[in-house]
Amino acid sequence: MKRLLVFCCLIVIPMQSFAAGTPITRRDGFLEIWNSIRRPAEPFKTQFDDVPEPAKGSLEIDFAAGRGIVDTESEKFYPDVSLTLDDTLIWLFRTRNVTDDPEDVNLETLTDLLIRYPIAHIANENILLGDMSQEDLLELMRQLDTQLMEEDHEVSLYSEKFHGKGGAFGEQFDMYAMTAAHRSFPHNTLVKVTNIANGKSVVVRINDRGPYVSGRNMDLSLGAFTSIEDRSKGKFRATFQRLGDAMLVGHCGMESRQQQRLSRSAYLSRGVPHYLKTGEVMTLESDSPFVMRGVIYPDGNSAVMQDFILKGESYVFKPSMEGVYTFKVGTIEGRVREMGMEVVGC
């Protein structure tokens, strides 16, 4: 039987030894970690005088320091010094948002975090300060990301009570959009949520903070929740897979922009998206009445209709095949506009 030993707030967990290969520098190691989460870096004031603009990694390092991912006690980053295990673990746990606040990840909390995510072999401070090779770093990243994807979370929904209200990032909440609230994932992060009970998945974009009920890890919009579970359930168990920022992921992971304008004065509050993933539904709504005139399918077949959709009502369409659909949407005065939507398999 394997034993878990505690030495001066550090733990021993069976694992491979480190630094079998050439040591990787702090700069290159941090960039490996940063690039793996597919999160854009925005210009931020210079944090370290040894990584000035436009030096390699200055944008990412300064931005991460401003977000609390990289510590700034020193004015230097030491970019060309070998990366050590302690910094590797701290940067990994912080970029993966395993705690609500990056400052909660530090040398004092590594013991508890490594019990929760046993990815490193630490027996004493000498191992913590040991040099990392690129192979070591990639293995740690692989192990942590695998364990995070296998974690079991409780997911709930929020809907009519919050519909149309502002969220934590200034966006108006749309209960039909494929979005979610999470306490620590960055704004615009795309997350694949998989219902453990039935295997169904949905990709959502983080655009709000929450939930604030103990034990719950994510609030899904009504549209996202009902795409993989019956509304009556209210909650379910799920796994999460972070895909990256919506700006950096292709349209298979993105919530598409919508076509909303019908005339100079008539708009759809929920319009026709440019892209829709197979299995999802399109929902059209407007604050004033509109008319669905017809649909042209990818195979050339068409359906002519005269459906009047009143204020407070919705037009719902679920594609039956991949390809480009053309919707003829009009005002009650007779103006008609064609809107195209491509359904893609992901």
Q: Domains of the chain: which residue ranges?
A: 6-148, 153-245, 258-344
Per-residue DSSP letter, 161: G
- CA 147 to CA 222: how far, in whole Å? 28
47 CB burial (10 A radius; 0-12, 13-18, 19+)? buried
Q: What pLDDT is recorded for position 251?
A: 55
Strands 201-208 and 179-181, by their bridges, are parallel
Q: What pLDDT is recorded for position 7?
A: 36
43 cis-preceded (ω within 30 degrees of 0): no
Which are the contacts of 190, defined by CB distance < 8 A and separation ≥ 6?
203, 204, 205, 206, 242, 243, 244, 245, 246, 249, 253, 254
Q: What pLDDT is recorded for position 248?
A: 73
Q: What pLDDT is recorded for position 275?
A: 82
Q: What pLDDT is recorded for position 8?
A: 41
Question: pLDDT tens-digit profile of 72-105?
Answer: 999 999 999 999 999 999 999 999 999 999 999 9
Assigned token pair, 345 = 């398999």
Question: pLDDT tens-digit profile of 34-55?
Answer: 999 989 999 988 899 999 988 9
Q: What pLDDT is recorded for position 19?
A: 47
Q: What pLDDT is recorded for position 185?
A: 96
Q: What pLDDT is recorded for position 128?
A: 65
Per-residue DSSP letter, 217: -
**What's this model's pTM, rounded to 2 decimal places?**
0.71
258-344, what's its fold? Immunoglobulin-like (2.60.40)
- CA 197 to CA 290: how far, in whole Å? 39
Q: Cα–Cα distances in Å, from 76 out to 57, 79, 80, 260, 268?
A: 14, 8, 11, 50, 52
Q: Decide: 207 and 169 in contact? Cβ < 8 Å.
A: yes
User: What residues form DSSP beta bridges with 221?
Assistant: 158
Q: Which helix (H) or strand (E) holds 267?
A: strand 267-273
- CA 219 to CA 274: how far, in whole Å? 26
Q: What is 153-245's CATH superfamily?
A: RlpA-like domain (2.40.40.10)
Q: What pLDDT is recorded for position 120?
A: 83
Alpha-helical (H) ranges within the chain are 26-36, 58-66, 85-95, 110-116, 125-128, 134-150, 222-228
- CA 243 to CA 153: how far, in whole Å? 17
Assigned token pair, 325 = 């659909």
Closest CA to 166 of 204, 207, 222: 207
**Residue numbers in the chain where pLDDT is lower than 70:** 1-20, 121-129, 249-256, 346
DSSP result, 307-337: EEE-TT--EEE--SSSEEEEEEEEETTS-EE
